[in-house]
Structure 1
């Protein structure tokens, strides 16, 4: 019996005897295990013809402060899609399976530069420090954009899971995080964050161990790391993709949209009948979902 199958059976047994809320978290973790078992082993993904990758560009002194840049065949004033991976604020990597492959295949031929960034993680860096890392990585990309024939004024932030929380936090109050001497990103695409309202999530954390390690027990810290609580009238436009298979992401995204509307900030919610992992690793495949995200991003770019 494989290790993954053994782990899955153990988690099913635990879910059967757990209280309802704990069982929900165990079921979500089991779904992640199943999805991981279906993905192929990590290997370099082929890039579209003529494209090339620049790996491990430093934006700080820590080994985790690195990013990869994927260039289209002939970049010319190229828009930049800046991606932040997930992993519960404690795991994950910029080149994990499902992070880059389909996004590169879809957006590089359209002339975009794709960036995938790492950041420091728990227990060494809490989510606020992680957001600082993402902001520093973004600033490095914008300052070096001319080297890649990219446009520092045409940047869209995208992140999945914990990465979705981090880009949403930056997008909610950009003046808090971003240098004033650089152009503001044009918008944010948040892929299935269940931490738009951190205090609400901490009352019933989807994965209690993960959320408590990330956000601790201080309600003041929860609010400081909560996109909904930090939202200002200067927030970036945002598309929030949410899985209808999970309890929290869509209601929190709708609440974020409602508050933003009162501040005059345009935000959209895109529910998808996909699992948490599928929302990330199928984006870029031929589908109505990819077309909707693509159209949103294209609509942010200056004509």
Structure 2
């Protein structure tokens, strides 16, 4: 029999299961120490294979490390059609990595998205932000907002339209775009303009309060600490109080916590007369990110949401 292939998702789930067993069988001190080592290893496994930069396809040029702040982490990459663009819609991408690692240039973050959408007349911006341990999630969300405001200000020089931005983020990045979508004042206070809509790719942190009140992985403690007031302030569900831009919550049906949180967030949004929907996919956490842009029903459904946001976006998605 062929041995089971270890993926980032299966490695992380295996570590989580082992941690639960250890918590039941060992003393608290022993379990905590072993659990933390296992989870650190699992997080390394999750990142493995993602550090390679994307290959830039023909017809695309890239502006590297465009600054939006003074910190070296406050940089974004901009992918443009070689032939130029006019009033191009912008996909604004935020990478994941447990609020502690990851990079804007990783292949899983941009490769297929750039290859799919830039030749069709889109500009794609992929941003970094300051991370743990020095910068906590709410301030990370402000970094994302600062990058968004800077990109909107520079858009005309790229041949892009500052009024046609679509926010997109994966994992921790999905939490960050979810937070500024639920509480747009976080973005507006940084100078950002309204955007067309948000695509959250498999965030399992739309309800931070519920996560922190139940059994959870240590990475959430590193991000959100032990203050319930901070949990509420960092939680998209608890901060969702007014109607915002349309929201698509993509979730992995292979993860126990992802789709229920997505459904609860969407139900709350719909109660505020905000257009929101859930797209459940039988894909792993990493595949939700990496396979977006490859031909198939998943990409088609995300594009249908994007096309519904604006006629110019719809027209470009219809170009072949």
Same fold (TM over 0.5): yes
Q: Does 1:271 align with 2:275?
A: no
Q: CA deviation at 1:209?
A: 1.4
Separation of aligned partners in 1, 2:178 and 2:208: 12
Cα contact 2:183–2:241 (8 A) shared by 1: yes
Q: CA deviation at 1:18?
A: 3.0
Q: Does 1:219 align with 2:228?
A: yes
Q: 1:14 to 1:215 in 2, by over 3 A?
A: same
Gap regions ≥5 residues in structure 1: none
| Alignment partner, residue 98 of structure 1 | 108
Separation of aligned partners in 1, 2:142 and 2:249: 21
Separation of aligned partners in 1, 2:194 and 2:186: 12
SS at match of 2:162: strand
Separation of aligned partners in 1, 2:174 and 2:68: 20
Gap regions ≥5 residues in structure 2: 1-5, 25-30, 313-320
Q: CA deviation at 1:78?
A: 0.1
Separation of aligned partners in 1, 2:222 and 2:190: 32
Q: 1:246 to 1:33 in 2, by over 3 A?
A: farther
SS at match of 1:270: strand
Cα contact 1:42–1:97 (8 A) shared by 2: yes
Residue range with higher mean Cα deviation, 11-20 or 178-187: 11-20
Q: CA deviation at 1:32?
A: 6.7
Q: Does 1:289 align with 2:293?
A: no
1:17-74 Cα deviation digits (max 9, x unpaired)? 4358x9x99999888766655x476144132x32100000000000000000000233
Q: Does 1:159 align with 2:169?
A: yes
Q: Does 1:254 align with 2:254?
A: no
Q: CA deviation at 1:179?
A: 4.4
Cα contact 1:173–1:234 (8 A) shared by 2: no
| Alignment partner, residue 22 of structure 2 | 18
| Alignment partner, residue 135 of structure 1 | 145
Q: Does 1:175 align with 2:203?
A: no
Cα contact 2:59–2:119 (8 A) shared by 1: no
Separation of aligned partners in 1, 2:241 and 2:196: 16
SS at match of 1:105: helix
Q: 1:12 to 1:188 in 2, by over 3 A?
A: closer
Separation of aligned partners in 2, 1:242 and 1:12: 19
Q: CA deviation at 1:108?
A: 0.6
Q: 1:28 to 1:158 in 2, by over 3 A?
A: farther
Q: 1:170 to 1:16 in 2, by over 3 A?
A: closer
Q: CA deviation at 1:118?
A: 0.2
Q: Does 1:203 align with 2:213?
A: yes
Of 124, 133, 136, which residue of structure 2 is paired with 1:123? 133
The TM-score, its normalising length taken from structure 1, stands at 0.88
SS at match of 2:204: coil
Q: 1:31 to 1:242 in 2, by over 3 A?
A: farther
Separation of aligned partners in 2, 1:161 and 1:65: 19
SS at match of 1:120: coil
The TM-score, its normalising length taken from structure 2, stands at 0.84
Separation of aligned partners in 1, 2:166 and 2:282: 24
